[in-house]
Amino acid sequence: MKKILSFFLFLCCFVSLPIYALESDINDSNDTVIFGEITANDVFASIYEADIKSLREALQLGLITSSKLTEIYLERIEEFGGAKKCFITLCDNALEEAGKRDEVLQNGEGDGLLFGIPVVVKDNIEYEGYPTTNGYKKDGTVSDTNAKIVQYLLEEGAVILGKTNMSTAAQEARITISKAVGETTNAYSFEMASGGSSGGTAVSVSLNLAAAGLGTDTNSSLRYPAVLNGCVSMRSTFALVSTDGCIQLNSKRDVAGAITRTVYDQALMLDVITGGQYSFTENLNVDALKGVRLGIIKELSYAYGSSTRSSKYIDSEIQDAFANAVAELRACGAEVIEVSFPRIFSLSSACSKNSASAIDKYYSAYEKVLVDNNLSAFIFPSYITAPLYTGVNENGGLLVYDQTSTTNFSIVSPPLGIPEIAVPIGFHSRKSGIGIEFAGLRSEDQHILDLAYSYAMRYDHRTVPEYAENLYGDADISLSEIIKEYKAYLWLSTSEAGTDAPESADSATISDIAESTGNFSENDADGKPFSKLLIVAIILLIAILFFIIFLKLRNDAIRRRRRRMRRNGYRRR
- Measured between alpha carbons, how far is residue 264 from residues 52, 145, 405, 527, 541 in Å? 9, 30, 30, 30, 54
| 197 part of the active site | yes
- CA 285/CA 440 separation, integer angstroms: 16
- CA 102/CA 112 separation, integer angstroms: 13
- Neighbouring CB atoms inside 10 A of 337's CB total 11
- CA 428/CA 425 separation, integer angstroms: 10
Contact 229, 187 (CB under 8 A): yes
Nearest partner of 374 among 413, 418, 334, judged by Cα: 334
Contact 192, 185 (CB under 8 A): yes
- CA 572/CA 182 separation, integer angstroms: 89
Nearest partner of 122 among 266, 221, 238, judged by Cα: 221
Rg of the chain over Cα atoms, rounded to whole angstroms, equals 30
Contact 423, 232 (CB under 8 A): yes
Contact 217, 421 (CB under 8 A): no
Choosing from 122, 163, 431, 487, which is the catalytic residue?
122
For 35-63, letters b (16+ CB in 10 Å) and e give: beebbbbbbbbbbbebbbbbbbbbbbbbb
Contact 160, 97 (CB under 8 A): yes
Strand pairing class (293-297; 38-39): unpaired
Contact 247, 147 (CB under 8 A): no
For 531-548, letters b (16+ CB in 10 Å) and e give: ebeebeeeeeeebeeebe
Question: For helices 52-61 and 479-497, what crossing angle results, to 10°?
Answer: 30
Residue type, 312: K
Sequence-separated (6 or more) residues with CB below 8 Å from residue 466: 188
| 221 part of the active site | yes
Choosing from 178, 189, 204, 221, which is the catalytic residue?
221
Choosing from 197, 233, 301, 511, which is the catalytic residue?
197
Nearest partner of 362 among 352, 372, 375, judged by Cα: 352
Contact 40, 473 (CB under 8 A): no
Contact 169, 136 (CB under 8 A): yes
Which residues are known to be catalytic? 122, 197, 221
